[in-house]
Structure 1
């Protein structure tokens, strides 16, 4: 029995140690984990891999095409014997071997444009991946800061609850000593009940925001997931002193949405060039080699027909006398050896082929016009992307400056509320004010503390967004 209790105690101790050593995720770890495991990013990586194969295919268009062929056929039934010219029932077999080589000499620069297009598509896919990483990094940072905000809010409510409990205990003592009426305790107890309810709500907010971040990271172990709750102070940054125009100019160079739009314009230009190339002449060269073999017999000579050595070939008109001539018949032998036939029956052909498009139902013309329209749309999309980026930068700059002022004002308000609370606490302790007035002052202090926390994390996030547009990583 004692051994069982020892084992159980040891297991409980190990469990507590394991729980105490549960991993606390930093912001950088959360961002890196999200970037490595996000499904959308993995899909885009596969798209980039597919673009690499498209490039490989475009390179292959510059290389000659080589094809080999082989045929073997059986002819059964009434066929003309090619050696005698006589129709006979027979079964013959024929074998043919060949190879062809073709190379494009000129295709309206389509091969070159396709290669350029493939390279641009690879670049666009990489910009798309980087853009998705930026968006996910911001989402993770926002969720991470939301957890910190909820935890700080919980600490404020818990601290105020402890203070209220202390005042309740002190008030009970004064009531028992007859220094205060019984009614003075009711307002404090109601305030404590309200704060207890606020603690439950705050704890639930922490739990929900933590689960939300875990789901964003694709982590299923919600119970053991937690972040490192370090004190995050307002970051020292000079970004506020930088003009929004300078931030915008910098973002034009580094933002992936701009790079994607610029690359899409170049891709559209190549598509238009490809459509133009489709209306140009093409020139190609070819070479072909072939050989054949058959099981049919070959002619080995001639001989007089043993059954009819002569044959009548005509009649003398004046005398009616028949004119005869020797009747020779073809002597055939067996087929030559297979490889000898392949050797002697070989043939070669080579040449150039020129194709000039003249009329194909407006296909080339429509393709050119359609791709011209797509090119104009891509250019307009680029301009719109720049306009939206400029708007976002200026909006982020105004949000950050407003958040800085709001945080500064909330700190001043907190200092004033703290002084008011300290004064009210002194007056309440000597019975100058009642519990209702004291509770009102305490609630005002609690609201000021919560507002400082809210303004602080709002300012941190908006500063991070503004720095992001300037090219500063979210984890710095």
Structure 2
């Protein structure tokens, strides 16, 4: 029995360790973006709005179908009333009811039926573009927050490395002071540098916590839960193997003009405005409708049994009718002409917005391509500078230990080395983000791998 209990305990421990490992699994940027898109409130709203546009399209298509209605009425009269057969007043109690069914269909309404279907189709595409725009914006904002968090995680590692150097150098300086090779001023200078590096490490940790909180907010991730990021990109040793591309911004722009959801949304908004302008003509054109139906009734004086039965009266009173109506607007307080002018102005406004969005997209694409190439060049150059500054620092430190350099020289070289490493980290991460942004403008999905959570 005890043995089975031990096995059960071991199984529970194994399951618990597995859950803990899963909970601590590192999240890459694609997983974070996928989670953010799935839980974003704006994306959920845009998805519901797109569904409303779909329903509006079904409603517009249904306008071509005939409308069918049925009615039934029951009436009980007492006191003075009109005899429906003689049209004279009498003082009797009567009971009557009526039944009717009618169908009607609009044959012509100034072309608004067809244009309404076209407008609803453009509105549906607009809703889909708005949904895609919301998803892409959420993913891009999450990407930026992820890069910021990685940057501060990298600065923490650099600050820890710098603090370790300061601790080691302070220890050696104190030992040299005991041996009479260094003075108290050198020790004080190293202690001040070590305190500065300790403060910088604390400061970078605070910035990292703030960046992680921002990332969780962008993802709509529970702020109290832990989130472990995948930091493999920080371990890249060199970018020198990456070659500059000869890709022209116009080539990227040509693709972006056809796939960018923001521009697509502006284009569909222009189409909706154009259809609204055509629909506005219905206010000044005739409307032709066709209708037809059947009706019957039943009548009886209470306390009088000389009336035909219910079925007989329904058959005898059954009537059928059909007709065509045409409504011609003559004067509607100028609302028709005013609506036409307003619709025309709205269409022109939509056209201007579309052209402005094209110009804005061109600027964004050109800037993204230039930034990608520029940050790659910066990364390659900063790799060389960081390597040189690292060599200069270690040479200066060696000379300082031998008494050939001052503590101020060591501090200056250490600060230069740290600045180079920080700039290299920044340029590398920014280059990665710009590469993803250019690929997005080229029509690729911003999220490379979608992870279900």
How does the TM-score come out when normalised to structure 2? 0.89
Deviation track 1:109-154 (CA, whole Å, cap 9, x = no partner) reads 2211111111111100001111111211111111111111111111
Deviation track 1:194-246 (CA, whole Å, cap 9, x = no partner) reads 00000101111111111111111111243412212222545987784211122
In structure 2, the partner of 1:141 is: 143
In structure 2, the partner of 1:463 is: 435
Q: Distance in 1 between matches of 2:362 and 2:242?
A: 21
Q: Gaps (5+ residues) in structure 1?
A: 1-5, 299-331
**Structure 1's 404 and 82: CA in aligned 2 closer, same or farther, altered over 3 A?**
closer
- Match for residue 290 of structure 1 among 282, 295, 314: 295
Aligned residue pairs, count: 436
Q: Distance in 2 between matches of 1:82 and 1:278?
A: 42
Residue 398 of structure 1 deviates from its aligned partner by 3.1
Q: Does 1:264 align with 2:269?
A: yes
**Structure 1's 468 and 453: CA in aligned 2 closer, same or farther, altered over 3 A?**
same
Residue 383 of structure 1 deviates from its aligned partner by 0.9
3-state DSSP class of the match of 1:68? strand
Q: Does 1:431 align with 2:433?
A: no
User: Is this contact kept in 2: 1:120–1:267, CA < 8 A?
Assistant: yes
Residue 15 of structure 1 deviates from its aligned partner by 8.2
In structure 2, the partner of 1:413 is: 385
In structure 1, the partner of 2:328 is: 356
In structure 2, the partner of 1:71 is: 73
In structure 2, the partner of 1:42 is: 44
**Structure 1's 269 and 454: CA in aligned 2 closer, same or farther, altered over 3 A?**
same
Q: Does 1:243 align with 2:245?
A: no
In structure 2, the partner of 1:397 is: 369
3-state DSSP class of the match of 2:308? coil
Q: Distance in 2 between matches of 1:15 and 1:191?
A: 45
**Structure 1's 214 and 371: CA in aligned 2 closer, same or farther, altered over 3 A?**
same
Q: Distance in 1 between matches of 2:108 and 2:393?
A: 87
Deviation track 1:141-198 (CA, whole Å, cap 9, x = no partner) reads 1111111111111101101111111112222222222333333211111111000000
Summarize the alignment of residues 186-197 of structure 1 with structure 2, pairs less than 5 Å apart.
186-197=188-199
User: Is this contact kept in 2: 1:44–1:125, CA < 8 A?
Assistant: yes
- Match for residue 286 of structure 2 among 255, 260, 281: 281
**Structure 1's 144 and 87: CA in aligned 2 closer, same or farther, altered over 3 A?**
closer
Residue 436 of structure 1 deviates from its aligned partner by 2.6
In structure 2, the partner of 1:161 is: 163
In structure 2, the partner of 1:381 is: 353
Residue 24 of structure 1 deviates from its aligned partner by 2.0
User: Is this contact kept in 1: 2:77–2:93, CA < 8 A?
Assistant: yes
User: Is this contact kept in 2: 1:93–1:294, CA < 8 A?
Assistant: yes
User: Is this contact kept in 2: 1:210–1:226, CA < 8 A?
Assistant: no
Q: Does 1:336 align with 2:308?
A: yes
- RMSD of aligned Cα (Å): 2.7
How does the TM-score come out when normalised to structure 1? 0.85
**Structure 1's 420 and 297: CA in aligned 2 closer, same or farther, altered over 3 A?**
closer
Q: Distance in 2 between matches of 1:247 and 1:429?
A: 55
In structure 2, the partner of 1:346 is: 318
More helix by share: 2
In structure 2, the partner of 1:252 is: 257
Q: Distance in 1 between matches of 2:241 and 2:118?
A: 45
In structure 2, the partner of 1:446 is: 418
3-state DSSP class of the match of 2:92? strand
More strand by share: 1
Q: Distance in 2 between matches of 1:13 and 1:97?
A: 75
3-state DSSP class of the match of 1:241? coil
Summarize the alignment of residues 68-147 of structure 1 with structure 2, pairs less than 5 Å apart.
68-81=70-83, 87-147=89-149
3-state DSSP class of the match of 2:78? strand
Residue 439 of structure 1 deviates from its aligned partner by 2.3
Deviation track 1:316-343 (CA, whole Å, cap 9, x = no partner) reads xxxxxxxxxxxxxxxx862211121111
Summarize the alignment of residues 218-229 of structure 1 with structure 2, pairs less than 5 Å apart.
218-229=220-231
**Structure 1's 335 and 154: CA in aligned 2 closer, same or farther, altered over 3 A?**
same
User: Is this contact kept in 2: 1:239–1:467, CA < 8 A?
Assistant: no
Q: Distance in 2 between matches of 1:429 and 1:279?
A: 95
Deviation track 1:33-89 (CA, whole Å, cap 9, x = no partner) reads 111111001001111111121112111111111111111112211235456776432
**Structure 1's 57 and 127: CA in aligned 2 closer, same or farther, altered over 3 A?**
same
